[in-house]
Amino acid sequence: MSRAGGITNAVNVGIAVQADWENREFISNISLNVRRLFEFLLQFEATTKSKLAALNEKLDILEHRLEVLEVQVSTATANPSVFT
């Protein structure tokens, strides 16, 4: 009977080892995917910051042009004789 018990224990250990490897593989896959997600988010942040900076520059230029046009319009309104 001790021999049958030893085989049963060996089978149980084998099952436990297999389950442990499967759990480790699952955890490894989750860790890898979390790393990939983190890298994607870092790249997305960098790209977004770059694009927003470029857009901000364009908006600054447009604001400056608008200010110049507002001054020209107010000047023309104050001195209509300039256009006649």
DSSP letter for each residue of 7-63? HHHHHHHHHHHHHHHHHHHHHHHHHHHHHHHHHHHHHHHHHHHHHHHHHHHHHHHHH
Question: What pLDDT sits at residue 1?
Answer: 44
- Cα separation values, 64 from 54, 55, 57, 61, Å: 16, 14, 11, 5
Question: What pLDDT sits at residue 78?
Answer: 86
Question: What pLDDT sits at residue 41?
Answer: 98
pTM over 0.85: no
Low-confidence ranges of the chain (pLDDT < 70): 1-6, 82-84
